[in-house]
């Protein structure tokens, strides 16, 4: 048997930041599409080890902000620093290689592949064997495949999806798809995990499970999490700090109790019924 290679077993994959230090800092970022201003001069930070919620009404620019963080959109103004260094314009695959993973508001799984293979794709950056060994699928290539399969099985156990590992994800119910998508992001062993409405469309039980996974990830593995969520109760329970966006502007930022008491937030968000 080879040495057990489990989730987050390799500390060198993460930065040396201590818990509570600033992991990501967004400064005065503005983003517009043609005439539409999606984000206007927003600044906030995410600290190592925290659960940071981003809330706001539909169209507030939350998803756009995640897209800026992982390199899909390039802001017209402003600066982002990550792991203490200012970040140049980057591509999504570069963000991935720096330990940023995410899930999507509308599940973006690989529909034709099994749950297991979807999660295995999350290991891509950690697999090194090239075309030659892949052609043989023996020796080092098989060892590598098995080692990563072991990590993926840990994730499957953690998310309690053993029974569906070989099912094509297109055939799974929505709640399970969201879970597989979390597993796929987790397989990257990210330092910063961005979750875009991970509980949308779920029933109460599924929501509770998802909350538990998020809390466990954060406490067991120290994963830093940025979370977009509409269920305000969930947000207040889970998060360490909350940033509130409205029409692309930041209107509040702080611990849940502060934010809850902020009159602008009450007006803009908490006051209106959804």
Partner 1 sequence: MFYREAGQFKDNYAADRAVFPILQDRIGLGVILLAAFLVVPLLGNAFFLNSIMTPFLIMALGAIGLNILVGYTGLLSLGTGAFMGVGAYAAYKLTTSFPQVNVLIWVMCSGFFAAAVGAVFGLPSLRIKGFYLAVATLAAQFFLQWSFVRVGWLYNHDPSGAIQIPARTLFGLPITGPHATPLTQYLVVLSIVVFMTLIASNIVHGRIGRSWMAVRDMDIAAQLMGIRLLPTKLLAFAVSSFFCGVAGALMVFFWLGAAEPVVFDINLSFKILFMVIIGGLGSLIGCFLGAALIHVLPIVIRMLPLGGDAAMVEHLTFLLVGALIIFFLIVEPHGLAQLWRLLKQKLRVWPFPY
Q: Which of 25, 27, 45, 110 binds partner 1 (CB under 8 A)?
A: 110
Q: Cα(150)–Cα(173) distance, rounded to whole angstroms? A: 25
Q: Is 106 in the site for ligand ADP (CB under 6 A)?
A: no
Q: Cα(33)–Cα(48) distance, rounded to whole angstroms? A: 31
**Beta carbon of residue 75, minimum distance to ligand ADP (angstroms, whole number):** 12
Q: Is 158 in the site for partner 1 (CB under 8 A)?
A: no
Q: Cα(29)–Cα(243) distance, rounded to whole angstroms? A: 14
Stretch binding ligand ADP (CB under 6 A), from 52-60, 140-148, 154-162, 185-193: 52-60
Q: Which of 3, 11, 12, 33 binds ligand ADP (CB under 6 A)?
A: 33
Stretch binding Mg ion (CB under 5 A), from 19-27, 85-93, 99-107, 266-274: 99-107
Q: Is 212 in the site for partner 1 (CB under 8 A)?
A: no
Stretch binding partner 1 (CB under 8 A), from 8-16, 125-133, 206-214, 250-258: 125-133
Q: Cα(272)–Cα(268) distance, rounded to whole angstroms? A: 7
Q: Cα(218)–Cα(202) distance, rounded to whole angstroms? A: 21
Q: With CB cut-offs between 5 and 8 Å by kind, which of partner 1, Mg ion, ligand ADP, none does residue 61 bind? A: ligand ADP
Give 125-148 as a DSSP string: GG----HHHHHHTSHHHHHHHHHH
Question: 125 or 270: whose CB is closer to partner 1?
Answer: 125
Q: Is 103 in the site for ligand ADP (CB under 6 A)?
A: no
Instruction: Let me know the angle formed at the C-alpha of 264 by 259 and 265, rounded to the nearest 5 degrees.
Output: 45
Q: Cα(88)–Cα(58) distance, rounded to whole angstroms? A: 29
Neighbours of 24 (CB within 10 A): 23
Of residues 17, 18, 51, the one with CA closest to residue 215: 51
Q: Is 117 in the site for partner 1 (CB under 8 A)?
A: yes
Q: With CB cut-offs between 5 and 8 Å by kind, which of partner 1, Mg ion, ligand ADP, none does residue 4 bind? A: none
Q: Is 36 in the site for ligand ADP (CB under 6 A)?
A: yes
Of residues 84, 113, 114, 77, the one with CA closest to residue 98: 84
Q: Cα(262)–Cα(266) distance, rounded to whole angstroms? A: 6
**Beta carbon of residue 114, minimum distance to ligand ADP (angstroms, whole number):** 30
| Residues lying near partner 1 in the complex (CB under 8 A) | 70, 72, 91-93, 95-97, 101-102, 104, 108-113, 117, 120-125, 127, 129, 131, 134-137, 141-142, 145-146, 149-150, 153, 184, 188
């Amino acid at each position: 048997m080879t040495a057990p290679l489990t989730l987050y077993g390799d500390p060198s994959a993460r930065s040396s930041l201590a818990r509570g230090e600033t992991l990501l800092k967004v400064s005065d970022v503005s983003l517009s599409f043609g005439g539409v201003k999606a984000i206007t001069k927003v600044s906030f930070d995410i600290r190592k080890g925290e659960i940071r919620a981003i809330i706001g009404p539909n169209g507030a620019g939350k998803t756009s902000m995640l897209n800026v963080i992982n390199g899909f959109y390039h802001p017209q103004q402003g600066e982002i620093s990550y792991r203490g260094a200012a970040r140049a314009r980057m591509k999504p695959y570069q963000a991935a290689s720096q330990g940023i993973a995410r899930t999507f508001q509308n599940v973006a799984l690989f529909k034709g592949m099994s749950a297991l293979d979807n999660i295995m794709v999350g290991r891509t950056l950690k697999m090194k064997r090239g075309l030659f060994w892949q052609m043989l699928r023996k020796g080092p290539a098989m060892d590598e495949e098995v080692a990563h399969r072991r990590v993926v099985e840990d994730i499957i156990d953690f998310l309690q999806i053993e029974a569906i590992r070989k099912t094509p994800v297109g055939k799974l119910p929505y709640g399970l798809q969201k879970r597989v998508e979390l597993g796929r992001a987790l397989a990257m062993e990210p330092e910063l995990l961005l979750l875009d409405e991970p509980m949308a469309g779920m029933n109460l039980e599924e929501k509770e499970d998802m909350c538990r996974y998020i809390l466990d990830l954060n406490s067991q593995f120290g994963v830093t999490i940025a979370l977009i969520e509409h269920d305000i109760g969930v947000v207040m329970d889970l998060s360490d700090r909350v940033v509130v966006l409205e029409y692309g502007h930041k209107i509040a930022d702080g611990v849940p109790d502060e934010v809850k008491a902020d009159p602008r937030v009450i007006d803009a968000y908490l006051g209106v019924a959804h």
